[in-house]
Structure 1
């Protein structure tokens, strides 16, 4: 029996797959990776990175307005969508080259093709070749969910197409209530687009702390975003100058563009999983154990395709842990319990640890510390937007279980706070930390009075 072609074959060139391939190659493995689109995956090509660039662009409208309160006289201000797109494309191309270049520098064979399983220990690529490998890693990520069966669904764009719009619309309706929906609603509103956010539930960001959810909805509405809750899209019809949207309550809306941000699903379609006996769950996610191995020995999966914690840094950590375990002789499991996350709306929010509701559901007796205030910058600029900071504390041990922030630089603040929570910091440790003044983050170490619900 001939030796396998590779020690490791990775299907998917996103963040998790690329990290796994590089680390495995560093351990001396002979590695190949196949990507049918562009190296970098969703995050780099049509996700986190271009989204954040759009976020930066959308926030300059605030900066120009706030500058007046600080003595600046601003002249004519114009925004050019084409310039933003061209500069975004240039940066994405640069990052893509870095991703692929780093793989090649480690000796990884890169294949610009689609690959699917072809039984245990083998894959078949688009040109028909069958390639064997001792270990196979599936890292195909997720894909945008689409409206499948409503009239006019073909007229709806997703987060894939939104980054390639030729023109900035005058009006947009964003459907959904998760990260992507609220972020793009915020982006387009900041760019001057008449924006409506429509969601089938009563609040956005299910699973986040209730104070963050309420505070964000209040802030988005104050910024002129029309919030249409408990509503769903049932049809899209073309009309002069745009589209007419039929809603399930019988209402209608007119708009120039409809963005579906109703969620994402594991990208397991046509991967040949059945040929190897790899089992999937109810949403199509690949079932794995704590070491990311599937139900088939020698076949692993990391990242959004497993539908555990669907965040790029988690996929990277899982990919690294997989390589350490299989090729580095260092068995490593990823702890998914304390993962910080941010939503890059304006204002942005970030969180790590347990929400108030989750802490109660877990059986903790908790103390709450909460503060709402206007950041110093807003007092002179005249902006009324307020900051929210909240700590959830275990009453029995004084351990900080959750940290939640809504306001400027929330992500930067929570990333640092996450280290403290990872080290099991107590509220007394926060209290013993000298404040850095003047800063908004100092509020985390100066909150002394327990908050009691009215």
Structure 2
């Protein structure tokens, strides 16, 4: 039921976004887009045909999603999550709220690095109050599939059993297939497009929106 509801909601939201774009006079072409010149984009449509468009300015806005975590066909009874950010907390709360046993491991003493320490401590207490088992300053060293599920070993030697292991440990840009190198667009070590304070790349006619979703891996 959750999977069906999730799919229905994604379809509904996509329909709303398409209507908003259409009402604003935006032409929508579904397919894979890539840069072929400082002022030219190629779109490979779903049927394989290619379209080419020229423009004064080009805006790059790409993303990957964590839909897979909500696409499980069965509710896991035991979950181990590695991550100390808001995505890890969201899924920990969802699964715990549905009755799963949830072990949440994160590498720092407190979760939500970069936020106020008092607020971080409050969040940790609230998570524990919901019945989520916290493992601060903990990393995972080994996953072994067994007949009883996945045996998870921490760097403290503790063993946890899980039906699902979720890694919510970072953000990655979705730029590998955009052909950015053809016009010399600069990216950083993980592939994120470098922009200035006005979101402009090193190519004056090309701009980029820093929009990335949490990289989620499910085992």
TM-score normalised to the size of structure 1?
0.44
Q: Equivalences for 1:16-415 in 2 at 5 Å?
A: 82=1, 84-126=2-44, 127-141=49-63, 143=64, 159-304=66-211
Q: CA deviation at 1:251?
A: 2.6
2:15, 2:129 → 1: CA distance? Answer: 41
Q: Residue 174 of structure 1: CA displacement? A: 1.0
Taking a change above 3 Å as real, the CA distance of residues 109 and 292 of structure 1, as seen in their structure-2 partners, is same
SS of structure 2 residue aligned to 1:95 = helix
Of structures 1 and 2, the one with the larger relative CO (CA 8 A, separation 6+) is 2
Whole-Å Cα distance in 1 between the matches of residues 155 and 161 of structure 2?
A: 15
In the alignment, the residues of structure 2 paired with residue 214 and residue 89 of structure 1 have an alpha-carbon distance, to the nearest angstrom, of 35
Structure with greater Cα Rg = 1
- Deviation string 1:290-334 (CA, Å, 9 cap, x unpaired) is 2221110110011325xxxx89xxxxxxxxxxxxxxxxxxxxxxx
Instruction: Flag as ranges the 4+ runs of structure 1 deviating above 3 A.
Output: 127-130
Q: Distance in 1 between matches of 2:164 and 2:91?
A: 12
Counterpart-to-counterpart distance in 2, 1:178 and 1:255: 20
Q: Distance in 1 between matches of 2:38 and 2:153?
A: 48
Q: Structure 2 CA distance, aligned partners of 1:297 and 1:177? A: 37
Q: How many equivalent pairs are there? A: 210
The separation in 2 between residues aligned to 1:235 and 1:292, in whole angstroms, is 40
Q: Distance in 1 between matches of 2:211 and 2:22?
A: 25
Q: CA deviation at 1:100?
A: 0.7
Deviations 1:340-381, CA, capped at 9 Å, x for gaps = xxxxxxxxxxxxxxxxxxxxxxxxxxxxxxxxxxxxxxxxxx
User: In the aligned structure 1, how far is the partner of 2:13 from the partner of 2:34?
Assistant: 26
Q: Please state how far the C-alpha of 1:282 moved relative to its aligned partner.
A: 3.3
The structure with the largest strand share of the pair is 2
**Which whole-Å CA distance do the structure 1 matches of 2:162 and 2:152 have between them?**
8
Q: Which residue of 1 aligns with 2:217?
A: none
Rounded to whole Å, the distance in 1 between the matches of 2:86 and 2:100 is: 19
Alignment correspondent of 1:46: none
Which residues of structure 1 form unaligned runs of 5+? 1-81, 145-158, 312-454
